[in-house]
Amino acid sequence: MIENLMTQKAETTKAAESNNSDCCGPDCCSDTESSSENAATEKSTKLSNRDKSSAEIKEMVKQKYSKIALQSREMNASSCCGAGECSDEVYNIMTDDYESIKGYNPDADLGLGCGLPTQFAKIKKGDTVLDLGSGAGNDCFVARSETGEAGKVIGVDFSDAMIAKARENAEKLNFNNIEFRQGEIEDLPVNDDSVDVVVSNCVLNLVPEKLNAFSEMYRVLKPGGHFSISDIVLIGELPQKIQKAAEFYAGCVSGAIQKNEYVSLIEKTGFRNIQIQKEKVISIPDDILSKYLNKDEAASYKNSESKIYSITVFGEKSVD
């Protein structure tokens, strides 16, 4: 347990330092963003040191995604503050293509995911599904097409603006079995043992205290329930310049932890039958790399074992 807390503290500090210095991209740190960050800093000065770094990160993440909620998918892509397409090349490597997927709702797709958790989540008709960090509801609408009318989908997000957007999307379709609740993943507004399936897409990397998030997932799942979550993890230490380039490009890298650490937190929480259902390398386009690295450094990074991955991971809560 002490080891967990130490890991979390190290994670938190690393992510705080990285988030503090990275802002949201080389060309897109608006005054609004800086003043939001200042406000977040001011707000958290009264907190204790340990809480301060966690609270600060969360406040910055909240501000960032609240701003994104008010932008279209296209604006997010071009502003570097969303899915992070700062590249001259037209890439969309983080986000999987949802367009052909049953239940897809384009209004809910802000291009913020890094996988397709619902495709691996074994959702059955009538299930209660919980989506952590639901954003504008992208995965909730897909999950609803799996649960059908008899099921229920709950999305939780801490950004009021995201919740408002998601609710508006559900209202337009007259869906009354999708509910969006404002709240924190580390303290879910969901009853114990009440959910069949938890999904999440590109969110837990943003959460400083990941063990709390996994513990909350465990608490709300019914015995025998399971999760399938897509997220960003690292293998090997990224050189600092790459970390910066990746952060500018992908936005979800500074809070990402090592893949084995991620899986070990899931194991420590008590989940069983843990499986990596999908894994893909996130490559940083050459034009982005060239802004941060010279030719030799870029070649050396490309040939190294250190990489950023998108993974989709599965785990079950035991029946007893």
**What stretches of the chain show up as alpha helix (H) in DSSP?**
2-22, 31-44, 49-69, 73-79, 138-147, 160-172, 210-220, 240-250, 259-269, 286-292, 295-303
Choose which of 184, 196, 216, 231 interacts with ligand SAM (CB under 6 A).
184
Positions in 98-127 near ligand SAM (CB under 6 A):
110, 112-113
244 touches ligand SAM by CB under 6 A: no
- CA end-to-end distance (rounded Å), the chain: 23
Minimum separation from the CB atom of position 199 to ligand SAM (A) = 9
Contact 172, 85 (CB under 8 A): no
In the complex, what is the shortest distance from the CB of residue 227 to ligand SAM, in angstroms, rounded to a whole number? 14
246 binds ligand SAM (CB under 6 A): no
Question: Among 259, 241, 189, which Cα is nearest to 219's?
Answer: 189
Kindly state the DSSP code that residue 87 receives in the 8-state scheme.
S
Interacting positions 122-181 with ligand SAM (CB under 6 A): 133-135, 138-139, 157-159, 162
Is 19 a binding residue for ligand SAM by CB under 6 A? The answer is no
* Four-residue CA torsion sign, 105, 110, 114, 117: negative
What is the identity of the amino acid at 74?
E
Q: Beta partners for 281? A: 309
Task: Note whether 94 binds ligand SAM by CB under 6 A.
Answer: no
The least distance separating ligand SAM from the CB of residue 231, rounded to whole angstroms, comes to: 10
Q: Which is nearer to ligand SAM, 162 or 265 (CB)?
A: 162
Residues that bind ligand SAM (CB under 6 A): 58, 61-62, 65, 110, 112-113, 133-135, 138-139, 157-159, 162, 184-186, 201-203, 206-207
